[in-house]
Structures are given as C-alpha cells and as structure tokens.
Amino acid sequence: MGGVEERGFLRGSDRTGQECAAGSAPRPACLAAVPRGAPAAMPHFTVVPVEDKHRADYDSVEGLSWVDYREPAAAPAAADSYDTVSSDGHGNHKENSPFLNSSEAGKGGDYYDRNLALFEEELDIRPKVSSLLGKLVNYTNLTQGVKEHEEAESTDGSKKKVSKSPSMGTLMGVYLPCMQNIFGVILFLRLTWMVGMAGVLQSFLIVLLCCCCTMLTTISMSAIATNGVVPAGGSYFMISRSLGPEFGGAVGLCFYLGTTFAGAMYILGAIEILLTYIVPQAAIFYPSGAHDASSAMLNNMRVYGTVFLILMAVVVFVGVKYVNKFASLFLACVVISILSIYAGAIKSIFDPPEFPICMLGNRTLIRDQFDVCAKTIVKDNITVASKLWENFCHNTNLTTENCDEYFLLNNVSEIAGIPGAASGILKDNLWSNYLEKGEILEKEHHPSVDAAGQKNNLHLYVLSDISTSFMVLVGIFFPSVTGIMAGSNRSGDLKDAQKSIPVGTILAIVTTSLVYFSCVLLFGACIEGVVLRDKYGDAVNKNLVVGTLSWPSPWVIVIGSFFSTCGAGLQSLTGAPRLLQAIAKDNIIPFLWVFGHGKANGEPTWALLLTALIAELGILIASLDMVAPILSMFFLMCYLFVNLACAVQTLLRTPNWRPRFKYYHWALSFLGMSICLALMFISSWYYALVAMLIAGMIYKYIEYQGAEKEWGDGIRGLSLSAARYALLRLEEGPPHTKNWRPQLLVLLKLDEDLHVKYPRLLTFASQLKAGKGLTIIGSVIQGNFLETYGEAQAAEQTIKNMMDIEKVKGFCQVVVANKVREGIAHLIQSCGLGGMKHNTVVLGWPYGWRQSEDPRSWKTFIGTVRCTTAAHLALLVPKNVSFYPSNHERYNEGNIDVWWIVHDGGMLMLLPFLLKQHKVWRKCKMRIFTVAQMDDNSIQMKKDLATFLYQLRIEAEVEVVEMHNSDISAYTYERTLMMEQRSQMLRQMRLTKTEREREAQLVKDRHSIARLESLYSDEEDEGDPVPENIQMTWTKEKCDAEKRNRGSAVGSFRDLISIKPNQSNVRRMHTAVKLNEVIVNRSHDARLVLLNMPGPPKNTDGDENYMEFLEVLTEGLERVLLVRGGGREVITIYS
C-alpha cells in the first residue's frame, strides 16, 4: 500500500497528532492521524484514548440510543463516503478513505456501519438492531387515566413534569386495587340475607360458582395480559385486540355499562345504609299507610341517590386526584369492617352480643313497634296491656273482642338474635328457606298454633320484600365478585405488568373467595335464621344484621361500609368515562366520537356526563336487588368474551400467541365461558337476552359501518382457519351441476390514467352475481414489475373503489406483464385458490378494431377466447356494454331473448334466470328462440323445448324459427369480398410501413406507446422487436433484392382489384347475415339478447375474418351478450 495517503491529512497531521495528545481532537481523526515523516511503506498510528466532549449531545435523539458518539465535523476532502480511487494529478492513483478518519463523520458514514456496508441502502427502512433495542429499552408506558390527568392538573404551565417510569409492584398495583373493587356493598348489605334464604350449603354453591367464574376468567385474562405489553386501557384493550373491533366494541360498551351501573348500585347501597341505619329521620317521604313503606323508601332512594350522584360527578369532574387520595382510606374502611366481623364471630363463642328477637308463635315481629316483648306488663302490681297488645287488639283494657286471632292463640317469646358460634345454630341454617313476596318470616320448629290473622296487622311482622330463589340470589350476589379487571386496568402503572397482573389478581380472588366462604360459614354458625332472612334488620331494632355480629360496635361496620360504598361509587364514576373515552378514541363506533374529547388535560367531560345520565337510570330503579342483576349481565358478558378470546387464540395457535403466564388451557377458558353463559341465564334469562341483544346490535353496527381496523385479532385468524378448512373441502371434487353457478373473472380495461374504462362491466357482474359466489376483477398493466409495482397498487385501489361504487362483492387482482396477452393468460390460469376458482370469464368487446391499423387490437381478444376454450372455461362477451342498465334503473317491462343455436351446457338458460334475480331485470320476461332447418320438425321441436323448460322449472316463451335454404345473396358475396380486400390491404400497408421504417432507420419507443394503449390493443407482435437503430451494410445482391421486394409490394396493391373471395368465408358470411336478419327481425326491441358465440377458427390466418363474422352477426342489436360454454353441463332437470 505504498504511497497511499489521505488527501488533506498531509497538511494537518502534525496538528492532529498534537490535538490527539491533548485530548481535543475527534476520535476518528486520532485513529487515522499519520505523522508527516512516516515512511510510505506502511502508515503508523498513534492511538490515544480520549473522552468525547460532545457525547451527551447525541445521547438520545427521538428516543434512539445511538451506539456511536462522534464529532460530525465535515472535512472538505470527504467528497465520497465510499472507497474510491482517484488521481493526485501526478499520475499516482490513491484511494479515498482507506482508513477511518474525521472526514467520514462529516459525510455521516457511521464507524459501525462499515461492518454493515452491505445493508447501507436499507438502513433508513430497516434500522440497526442497536437502534431498535435502544428504542424498546427507552419506551415509557405512560398511563392513560387517573395518573395522567392528575399530573396534567397539577402541572404549571411553565414547568413541565418529567414523566416517571411505572413503578408499582404487585401488592400496591394489583392486589389491593382488586381487593377494594371486589369487596363491596353486597358483602355488607346482602350476604347475611343470602345465607338466610339459601342456607349455608346453597350459599357455598353460589359463592363457588361465582368465584370459579372469576378465577377461570382471571386465568384467561392473565394469559392475554402476559402476551405482550398491555398499554393502559386494560380489559377493553385486551378483548378488542384479541377478538377484533366488532367484538371489542360490543364488549367494551358492555363493560362500560356494567361499570356505570355498578356506580349506581354503590350509590344506592350508600343511601340504603344512610337512611336505614345512620339517620332514618333524614327521610323526605314517609309512608302514608301501613303498606306504603317500600314505595316511600324507594322515593327517598331516588332523591338522595340523585343528589349523591351529582356530588360524586362534581368531585370526579373537579379532579380525580381527590378520588385517588382517598382510595387508601376507603380500602382501610373495608379491611377494618371485615376484621370486625371476624373479631365479633370469635367473641360470640364465649360472649355472644345481646340482640333479643321477639317472636309471636313462630312469627318474627318488627322490634321498633313496641318496647317490651310481652302481651301484658305489671305496673304498680297491676297487669296492664303492653304496647304489643295495643297494636294487635287496638285497646288498652285487655278485652279480646277486637284482638287478632293468631295473637290470642300464640304466646310471645324472646330468642337470641346472635346465639354465637358455639350454640349449634349452624345445623338449622344449613338448608334453604326461600320465601315469596309478602310472606312472614317464621322460625321452623318453634311452638305455634296455626290460625288466620288479620291482614291489617301484617305490618307488625317482618315480611319478605321480594320473591327469592337460587337464581335470584345468584344475580344479586355476582357483583360482589366483580372487580378482577382492576389490576389489568392499571397495567400502565405497573413495573412488570406481565408478572404482577396474574399473581396479584389470582391472589386477590383467592383472598376474597376465602373471606366469602368463611363469612357464609360464620353467619350460618353465629346468627339466628330469622335474623339472617331479615334484610333490613327490622327484628333487631333496625340494626344492620352484619353489624350485630361485629365487634366492638355495630357502628364500625355501618360507618365503614358507608364510606367504602361511597369510595367504590367514586371509583366507578372515575373509571367508566375513561373506558368510554378509550372506545371513542379507537373510532370504531362513529356516533361515540364526541365522547373522545374532554378538558384540555384530557379529562373526559362529555363521557362523564353520559356516565352520570346512565347511572341516573339505575338510581331511578332505586332497588339494589333490581340493579345488581343488570350489572351482573354486563360483567358476565365481558368475562365470557375474555374467556372466548383466550380459547380462540389458544386453539388457533397464532404465531404471536406466546403468553408468559403458562398455567392456562383452552378447556379452562371454555369452562369459564360456559359458566358465564350459565350464570347469565340462571340469574335472569330476560336480562341475559337484553344484554345479548345490545351486544349483538353494537356488533352489527360496527360491522355495518366497516371498522377499518386491523389489530391482528383472533377472529381474523378464525376466519382464515375456517376459509382454509372450507377450501380444502372444496378441493375434494368439482361442484355438482346443481351447485354450479358462474364464478366470474372479469377482465377490466384501464385507460392511461389507470381509470376503469368500462365500469358497466362491473355493473353487469354485480347484477349477474347478486352478491353470491366468487367474483374476481382482473386487469393487466404492461411493463416491468420492478418498475411499475406502484402503478399496479394504484390501479388495484382504483378498481376496489369502483367495486365499492358498483356494489361488487369480490376480489381484485392486477398483474404486471411484458405483454398484455401473457398477463391475461396468467390471470386465467392462476386466479382463485383451490376449489375457489373462476369458471367463467367476462371479456369486453374490442371497440374500434376495424378502424385500427394495429392487428393487436383484435389479436388479444381472440387469443383470450382461445385461452378460455383451452382452460374449459365459459366465456361471456357483453357487446355495447355502455348501453347496459345501471343498478339504479328498473325495467318494468320488456324481454330477455335467448337465441339457442347450439347446445353448450345450458349456459344460455341459466344466465337469464340469474339476471332475473336482480331488481333491474326482475320484471322482464324470458323468451327462448331456437333455429330449425328444413328437415327438422319445428312443431315437435317446440313441444320438446317447452317440456324441457318445464322440467328445468324455468318460465319462458318458446319459439322455433325456421331458416329456409336460400341462395347466397349478392350482398353476402360483396360483404365477404370487402372483408377479404380489407384484410389484404391492411396486410400490405403494414408491410410497406415496416419497409419505410427500415429505410428511415427510426422506430418509435414501443414501451412508451404501450403504456397508452388499451388492454386489447397494446399487444406486441409475435415477431422479434425492431431495433431502435438499424446498421446495414449494402451489397449489390442486397440492393437488388430490396428493389424486387418493393416492386412486389406495389404489384400486390394492383392484385387487390382482381381478388376472389374464399368459398368457406362466403358460407360463413351467409350464415352470419341470415341469422342476423332473423334475430333483428324478432328481437330488435328486446332488453337483452343472449346468443351463442361461435368459436375462433383453428387456422389463425382467418382471425380477422372471425371478428368480421361476429360484427355481422350482432349488427343492429342494442345489447348483446355473446355466450360460450365451458364444455360441461351447468343446468339439470333433476332435483
């Protein structure tokens, strides 16, 4: 490498060496520094390790972690980043940049890219692995929701907060939020009542069913959540990306409605606690009569519920940070309340609390109606009537004439409301004791005399307010196990979501399930059955039944449950609008777009307003027991689809399905799905149907609107699997004649602007198919695939747009080929897949072929006809397609005439029948004409044809046209003569044109012409292409031959006058003229004429004449469909 030096370094190498020693020069320059006095044989390097001063400047550009840190100092010598060889002006060749130097940095030639020079042209679209990994590592998963809005509110305009990376662990991020969401109002207000009604055993079954449902759903959810990074958005994101936009939108809205109604339920629970147990005197409405108590209570719930809802909505609107700050307080209330239940249960073993119940016979009395549980009391040694006597006998003098009969015959007794865990009451509470609405709570096996009581005294007893059954209790209890999505909804805040979500959620479900099971057991073992069945604690002096068991005071649970239900309501009103906002921002349900907007900080104002309105509907229902099954339905629907998503992904084994959570199985998902479905119909079959109807309507709406979303969802994979299975089934054999229908390949012609030249071809295809079967729209672009790929894509999009306009359901395929004829042959051979292939080709007529000097205009057409015949495909050629009706036109009268000349499989019978299925042609009548020769019995032919059509179940008029043998007319002879003279003349013109081109030695650029030519007229000749510039060496022999050729060409023009037509052509022309006369005579006013298309001649010399015959055959007809069968029967008389 002697004499190889870098330009520009000879001048500055001393300086560079000093800078390197001082540590001030860029690293590449130091590496390549060459001392001035070094020998030419081999350059010496002085390598000094230095620290790059500017490293920090390039530490992160747009999130990329750059591997190389260099000074981008442009050196004037860096004219080329590649290693090139140039001259120094003294005849010595030298290489540009044989070493790494500072000039490369100026050009941007990355030091490390020297190892990737092979890929340097693609680095802009295919980044280096180091860059990609740098992006992924620096990815910060910002939370969408509470944290983001909280930061936006508290951020000053001038100072912008640096977003913190997610740091929540399993305990704080998943376990505790799930616990807080799962434990709710049902545990405190309804669990004791459920145990009393269903008994301990059936209560165990209800809890087991519900907890199994959520546990199996959690397993499925964990698999989905650990299959890649789950952005903030939680369950909605998981379902929509797993099952597609239709299911995602339907389930997302179901989950939203469930969360909204949950907010209403929590508010109703809080009002019930407030008005029944904390401040009953705050009621606005009071019962006007003894039996109006329930309606007054419902009205109070509606008024206070609306006030609470407005207050909570204002709190959420003002700032979710307040909700977030109180979340831990609300959770503490729940935990303390539950601990007080356990403490009370333990204390009841040795010191049960004093809550006596007053019984009249075996009936339970409302305690707050009297003070002493006795018929009489002794006051100053005088027996006087008690308050109880006054209530039943309506007097104070102990007379019995107005007394209730049941009151007189039965004794009043007091029993312990909380006998304690050691009392053995558990065996009495094991079995169910369901009641009808209005039934009195009675204690079994308690001494009583059966007698009819007075109806007006019913208000003194504790009554059942609703009819109960196992199914009703399932619907009421299920909301107390919902909330398992809380962890996945916070996925954006988690340090390691893929580990925390499964562990935290499963632990939360196990914990809550154990609490529910133990509570069912403790309630059954500690509390008297009639107290358990007393929903509002009337028998224990209007105390909350759970509160009677708790320690140290009933107020612990009353206050704790009140705050926890308020907190849960706030959480629901916070979460639901954000869920709606996420759905709206996905833009899959167009009418929700307005709810994607909000305040400047992203707070979903409009979504909050809608949430409040829907929650108000729940509050107007006013009954906790009526609202609970509604939200059960929506949550069960959501869980059902989570299980379905996991099962579908597992069974399809999609390549991207690689969950980190391994303890899942499709059978578990199906079991979870089945339990969800069963619970929906067990709890309330009519609510289940309504929820399914809502989800179905949303699904169809999204499908109808055409959600243009590709999320790699499982349903798409399912469709692919189903399509593959169906295609393999179709491959087993050709379709039976009964199932045959035209599967179309429509060959479209594009103009120079890549627009569809004859869109009515698509209209005709849509009318013929009416949305059934297969339609492939094919087109050919001439050129080189590498150069014209973009144009092919544009053409495909144009055709698809036109297909949408013309309502053609099908596929589009654009082929790039050097020759159009070859492209068409490729389409005919390769379109379709397996058994789903075309059997019919629709081809446009080559208009203007007579006027064109170029023979390719009709050669392509005839070549395509031959291809379809060779492939045994049917062929349809609509002539004058521009006059065909559009999809908006209607023919209220008219005929479709079929001219059945030769039988080729029954296509001519089938096509009009299929066309008449479309509204455009529906009212047209069908007429079938057939041609009889002199030796045919036309009357018998007509009868046979009518019978044949009857057996085919096709309604049509039948006519037999007799064609008499006649001499060939002078017109026919002249027509044939003109045709042959024209052919000969064009042949000579083409020949002389070639000669002129050769003499001029100039040929137009064929490729540029080809781009402007049509589908049928831009075919290249079969011969070799003429070179652009012809170099000829003239010899005497060549010159003489050329003169002779010219002389013969001139002579051939003179021969045109004396030409005689070929007899075969004359016969063919005679047939065409005669048939045309007959057809025009009978069908000149027909809406459409279907006609057998004669095949092209075997000898290619007669191709041009063949075109003329077709023209003569169809002259004078407005709309003609030339039909050529594919060589098989397509219609049958058999069923």
Residue-wise pLDDT for 20-29, tens only, equals 444 444 444 4
Distance CA 726, CA 744 (A): 19
Neighbouring residues of 1120: CB distance < 8 A, sequence distance ≥ 6: 878, 879, 880, 1088, 1089, 1090, 1091, 1114
Distance between CA atoms of 589 and 582, rounded to whole angstroms? 11
Q: How far is Cα 732 from Cα 1102, in angstroms, rounded to an integer? A: 41
Highest mean pLDDT among 193-197, 598-602, 773-777, 977-981: 193-197
pLDDT of residue 137: 56
- Summarize the confidence of residues 954-979 as an average pLDDT: 68
Residue-level pLDDT at 202: 95
Kindly state the average pLDDT of the residues 649-669.
87
Inter-CA distances, 130 with 139, 228, 634, Å = 14, 21, 46
Q: If DSSP codes are grouped into helix, strand and coil, which group holds residue 960? A: strand
Residues 975-982 have a mean pLDDT of: 63
pLDDT at 1080 over 70: yes
pLDDT for 268: 92
Of the candidate ranges 165-169, 317-321, 582-586, 1047-1051, the one whose mean pLDDT is the lowest: 1047-1051
Round to whole Å and give the CA distance between 104 and 70: 10
Tokens of 563: 């705050």
Q: Tell me how crowded residue 38 is: count the other CB atoms within 10 A of its CB.
A: 13
1025: region left, alpha or beta (phi > 0 left; psi from -120 to 50 alpha): beta
Residue 874 backbone dihedrals phi, psi, to 5 degrees? -75, 155
Q: Is 432 exposed, middle or buried (0-12, 13-18, 19+ CB in 10 A)?
A: middle
Out of 150-164, 178-192, 948-962, pick the least confident: 150-164
Give the CA distances from residue 28 to residues 60, 94, 101, 231, in Å, rounded to whole numbers and listed in that order: 21, 20, 5, 42
> Residue 244: pLDDT above 70?
yes
Q: What sign results for the dihedral spanned by CA atoms 351, 357, 363, 364?
A: negative
Alpha-carbon distances, residue 535 vs 278, 441, 1085 (angstroms): 16, 11, 84
Mean pLDDT of 1112-1130: 81
Q: How far apart are CA 137 and CA 132, in angstroms?
A: 9
Which amino acid belongs to residue 853?
E
Return the percentage of the chain with pLDDT > 70, whole number. Answer: 71
The bridge status of strand 412-416 relative to strand 356-360 is antiparallel
Alpha helix locations (H) across 394-526? 405-409, 470-477, 486-489, 497-526
Structure tokens at 849: 């072929």
Q: Which of 194-203, 275-284, 537-546 has the highest mean pLDDT?
A: 194-203
Query: Highest mean pLDDT: which of 79-93, 225-239, 349-363, 983-997?
Result: 349-363
- Per-residue pLDDT, 1060: 58
Q: Give the per-residue pLDDT at 966.
A: 61
Q: In this model, does residue 1128 exceed pLDDT 70?
A: no
For residue 1119, the Cα-to-chain-centroid distance in whole angstroms is: 43
Predicted local distance difference test score (pLDDT) of residue 195: 94
Work out the percent of the chain whose per-residue pLDDT is above 90.
Answer: 16
CA torsion 885→886→888→891, rounded to 10°? 10
Q: Which two tokens stand for residue 823?
A: 């492209």
* CA 470/CA 323 separation, integer angstroms: 37
DSSP, collapsed to helix, strand or coil, labels residue 306 as helix
pLDDT digits (tens, 9 = 90+) for 116-154: 666 665 666 666 666 666 655 553 333 344 444 444 445
Judge whether residue 917 has pLDDT over 70. Answer: yes
To which H or E segment does residue 385 belong? strand 382-385
Q: Chain-wide mean pLDDT for the chain?
A: 76
pLDDT recorded at residue 1030:
46
Asked if pLDDT for residue 11 goes beyond 90, the answer is no
* Mean pLDDT of the 870-879 span: 89
The token pair that represents 523 in the structure block: 């309630």
- Report whether pLDDT(102) > 80: no
Tokens encoding 47: 């390598």
Q: How confident is the model at residue 292 (pLDDT cuts 50, 70, 90)?
A: low
Nearest to 29 by CA among 43, 12, 42, 41: 12
Alpha helices, DSSP H, located in 891-1035: 907-915, 938-951, 970-1000, 1006-1012
- CA 830-833-836 angle, to 5 degrees, is 115
Among the listed ranges 54-68, 126-140, 254-268, which one has the minimum average pLDDT value? Answer: 54-68
Would you place residue 323 in the very low, low, confident or very high pLDDT band (cuts 50, 70, 90)? Answer: confident
Quote the pTM value: 0.68
pLDDT digits (tens, 9 = 90+) for 816-860: 999 888 999 999 888 888 778 888 899 988 887 766 666 676 788
Q: What is the model's pLDDT at position 588?
A: 81
Residue that wins the pLDDT comparison between 470 and 15: 470
Mean pLDDT of 728-732: 74
- Residues 944 and 953: their CA atoms lie apart, in Å, by 14
What is the structure's pLDDT at 210?
94
Residue 990's pLDDT band (boundaries 50, 70, 90)? low
What local confidence, expressed as pLDDT, does residue 709 receive? 65
Q: What SS3 string covers 1032-1074?
A: CCCCHHHHHHHHHHHHHHHHHHHHHHHCCCCHHHHHHHHHHHH
pLDDT value at 974 more than 90: no
Q: How many CB atoms lie within 10 A of CB 578?
A: 29
Is the pLDDT assigned to residue 19 strictly greater than 70? no
Residue 462 has pLDDT above 60, yes or no: yes
Res. 101: pLDDT tops 50: no
Q: Would you state the pLDDT for residue 677?
A: 94
24: number of CA atoms within 13 Å, CB side? 6
Model confidence pLDDT, tens digit, residues 474-486: 999 999 998 888 7
Comparing 105-114, 583-592, 644-653, 1003-1012, the range with the smallest average pLDDT is 1003-1012
pLDDT at 309 over 80: yes
**Nearest CA among 359, 368, 367, 373 for reference residue 442:** 359
pLDDT category at 250 given cuts 50, 70, 90 is confident
* Residue 542, H or E segment: none
Q: CA separation (Å) from 176 to 123, 317, 513, 1062, 1097?
A: 47, 25, 15, 98, 85
Residue bearing the bigger pLDDT, 474 or 107: 474
Rounded Cα–Cα distance for residues 19 and 263 (Å): 72
Among 410-414, 467-471, 835-839, the least confident range: 835-839
